[in-house]
Structure 1
Amino acid sequence: MSAAPVLVGYTANEAGADALAAANRIATAAGAPLEVVMVLPSEARNSSVPADAGYERFLREQSRSWLAEASGCLGTEVATKLHLRYAESYAEGLIAAAHEFGAKLIVVGTAGGGILGRARIGSVANELLHSSDVPVLLAPSGARAATTQGVTRITAAVGTRPGADALLESAIRLARATGAPLRLLSLVPIDLPAGLDAELAALTSTVHAEDVLDEARRALPDGVDASVETAAGASIEAAVRALDWHPGEVVLVGSSRLAAPRHLFLGSTAAKMLRELPVPMIVVPRTTRTT
């Protein structure tokens, strides 16, 4: 059975190039096809204003030209298809396209004006990260310049709150698909309620981390390594800055408990991590473990 497609929301700018590069790395590592999608404003977006047929034709032709240029940057390692879609919003069009193609990941770039190597959430990413029922990867600024091929390591930021099981399952699936080692990052010491006894917090962190590691090792095939690391720092941001990050690494985080079932909602912990991460982050929908 072939791997599910990776879908990238492409725009003809630096953010689009970053998204395309990150999506290509994931697709290459997982042996998955790549669906490159440009979303144009819906032709029915405003029925009170007559459509300019000439402008719409120009936009369509220009978009096809941009898609062709994007395809030329990808090489031949990944099976790629190019698509134009119309929707009321860019995010809505990407989610609909993901459903249409059976994609298991939507990749978008960061907003303009961000720090090189970091992600800054723009309007499209913000809408996706608070509504999509498909995992979303946000490519940091400058991802297009990365020389690392494939995925060198997967880090899953695991806690004890509801939804942690779905995150672990997604991380294991990605590790199996790419063959990349899995690092489980325990956020328990930082993510526990304020005022909890320090010794109890440390004990809880150690026991939880080892339990999760055992589960991951049982699920991973031979040859795929798994390790655990406990976050240390006065804050999430400090902990992220103190960790080492591989150039070809990908981070997975779960959705907030405020998320609707099977949908994304970027929580405060993940948002704090995102501001400091130099590597792509995938946000996984809040859902229960699947069979």
Structure 2
Amino acid sequence: MPTRIVVGYIANESGADALALATRIARASEAVLEVVIVLPSEARGSVVPPDAGYERFLRERSRTWLAEASAALGDEVAQSLHIRYAESFAEGLIAAAHEFEAMLIVVGAARGGILGRVRIGSVANELLHSSDVPVALAPAGSREVPTGQGVTRITAAVGTRPGAEGLLEASVRLARLTHAPLRLLSLVSIDLPAGMDEELAQLTSTVHAEEVLLTARRALPESVESTAVTAKGTTIEAAVQSLDWHAGELVLVGSNRLATPSHLFLGSTAAKMLRELPVPMIVVPRTATARATTPRTTT
């Protein structure tokens, strides 16, 4: 069974960014793209009767947009085009991911974002707090990155909180699927309480980060080649800025410990990283390892 990626599409720059990122990942992993447009649910209450003419217009316009997206993709990747109905765009994408047993949902940034950064809109926000499928966020301008570049590196932001094992497994699977090297990242930031010695705090944080990396590397399969790096800074944002990033890189982060099992919840550290990351971020559900970045098999 082929690996599948669901991309939430709409005919604007955000949709083009999502499609471009999904295409890069699909090319690298030989996955099938399921390009999905979600329209408002046809099931309406009796207070507002359905407007058949308007719904027909939306359907035809969406078919045109999908055809244009397909033409832009050409023969780069295997693809299927879909129109789905749901109460919300995010709900429709999650349902589509279940339907196609997808390893990933890809969406673009909200309008008005800084080039190369992700500005979370309502769709991404809903996905990041409810999806049980990993979600990839395409920064503004992702459409300018050549799809032939593929995936040049997988960076896993590892920690010791619950869910770290799932993140590590998902990172290994994605690295194998995309034939990309794996980099383990631990962040060290200094947010000092009043009166605390700065050098002592820096030393303690650095030692802890290095222990996290050592533990993570020991958990990796022997066949996986990896590097490890500790990013230091006075803040999480500064630590992220101190690192080198490839144009074709993907960063994986785990969900906050407050996430319900097998669901996403974007934590404060990941949110701070997102503000500074110049590359796409993939958020992995807290305990999702079976579906994360690997296809299911059926008997």
Shorter-normalised TM range: over 0.9
Q: How far has the Cα of 1:210 moved from its partner?
A: 2.1
Q: How far has the Cα of 1:191 moved from its partner?
A: 8.5
Structure-2 residue corresponding to 1:21? 20
Structure-1 residue corresponding to 2:296? none
Structure-2 residue corresponding to 1:262? 262
Q: How far has the Cα of 1:4 moved from its partner?
A: 2.1
Structure-1 residue corresponding to 2:203? 199
Partners of 1:144 and 1:290 in 2: how far apart?
30
Deviations 1:7-64 (A, max 9, x none): 0000110000000000000111011101000000011134311211111111101100
Structure-1 residue corresponding to 2:164? 164
Contact 2:251 / 2:280 at 8 angstroms: preserved in 1?
yes
* Counterparts of residues 1-291 of structure 1 (less than 5 Å): 2-147=1-146, 149-187=149-187, 189-190=188-189, 197-216=201-220, 218=222, 220=224, 225-287=225-287
Contact 1:27 / 1:33 at 8 angstroms: preserved in 2?
yes
Contact 1:41 / 1:89 at 8 angstroms: preserved in 2?
yes
Alignment CA distance shift 1:5-1:191 (3 Å): farther
The two structures have a TM-score, normalised by structure 2, of 0.90
| AA at the equivalent of 1:154 | I
Partners of 2:125 and 2:105 in 1: how far apart?
13
Partners of 1:281 and 1:191 in 2: how far apart?
23
Partners of 1:110 and 1:198 in 2: how far apart?
34
Contact 2:191 / 2:234 at 8 angstroms: preserved in 1?
no
Contact 1:190 / 1:234 at 8 angstroms: preserved in 2?
yes
Contact 2:9 / 2:16 at 8 angstroms: preserved in 1?
yes
Alignment CA distance shift 1:283-1:207 (3 Å): same
| AA at the equivalent of 1:248 | G
Alignment CA distance shift 1:289-1:87 (3 Å): closer
* SS of residue matched to 1:61: helix
* SS of residue matched to 2:183: strand
* SS of residue matched to 1:120: coil
Q: How far has the Cα of 1:201 moved from its partner?
A: 3.0
| AA at the equivalent of 1:214 | R
| AA at the equivalent of 2:131 | S
Partners of 1:217 and 1:275 in 2: how far apart?
32
Contact 2:132 / 2:288 at 8 angstroms: preserved in 1?
no
Contact 1:45 / 1:88 at 8 angstroms: preserved in 2?
no
Partners of 1:135 and 1:120 in 2: how far apart?
18
Q: Percent identity?
A: 66
Q: How far has the Cα of 1:219 moved from its partner?
A: 5.0
Partners of 1:247 and 1:72 in 2: how far apart?
25
Q: How far has the Cα of 1:71 moved from its partner?
A: 0.7
| AA at the equivalent of 1:28 | R
| AA at the equivalent of 1:234 | T
Count of residues paired in the alignment: 285
Q: How far has the Cα of 1:89 moved from its partner?
A: 0.6
Deviations 1:225-280 (A, max 9, x none): 31000011011100111111100000000000000000000000000000111111
Contact 2:154 / 2:251 at 8 angstroms: preserved in 1?
yes
Contact 1:192 / 1:201 at 8 angstroms: preserved in 2?
no
| AA at the equivalent of 2:72 | C
Alignment CA distance shift 1:228-1:217 (3 Å): farther
* SS of residue matched to 2:220: helix
* SS of residue matched to 2:107: strand
Contact 1:34 / 1:80 at 8 angstroms: preserved in 2?
yes
| AA at the equivalent of 2:105 | I
* SS of residue matched to 1:263: coil
Alignment CA distance shift 1:288-1:14 (3 Å): closer
Partners of 2:67 and 2:272 in 1: how far apart?
36
